[in-house]
Structure 1
Amino acid sequence: MKILENVVGIASDYNQVPFIGLTNMAETLCIVFEAAEEQITVQLYPAGKASNNTEFILNELCFTLKKHFSHLNDNQIRITVEGFFSFNKTIAKMRDHVRDFIVQIRQENGEDTSDLYLEEKAKEIEKAQAEKNAIPGVLNPHAVKDDEEMQ
């Protein structure tokens, strides 16, 4: 539970996104929540507190997030935590889910959210440039280095 709480804590600390990267955070969350859902077989919950580990973790994380983000309503928090379990097989969906959560947090504080899309924008620009460079004649012949010059 401590590992899960700390990972979710880092994911919800939107100041960490520029350092970690949204995709790296999503990948970590996928691994952690997949392990919590499928690989941890030891009963984590006290008797009568839940019927399985997933339910226990979901309830505990909802409680923790509600404590730290009191401006979010219960449905927003529940959907966020359920999404951690639902999207734990797809990094892209987890990334979008984490971004949505961070946007909710930032909007409440009136903060800018445009930096949450920088990683995808940079990859999109890189891909477009590579596609453009792949078209014969687009690059200036003097800008292209021959294999002989590189040696």
Structure 2
Amino acid sequence: VAQFVNGLLESRGDLSLFKDHIRDFLVQSKEFSAQDNKDLYAEEAAAQKERERQRMLSIPGLIAPSEIQDEMVDS
């Protein structure tokens, strides 16, 4: 991102250079988004899942006791 911003600032006087820089950034972004990037969000997803589980455990009766026992056995 810093490289992109620096490139924008350096090319502010030359319109064709500016357009080329934008085009290169968009191509690189598209290449990145085409890749499987689930692993970038895996940690956040796991934390969200744990927060949701803790929230459900804090409300009595929201989770059946048998499900809680199953979790204890799995751990």
TM-score (norm 1): 0.24
Q: Which structure has the highest helix share of the two?
A: 2
TM-score (norm 2): 0.43
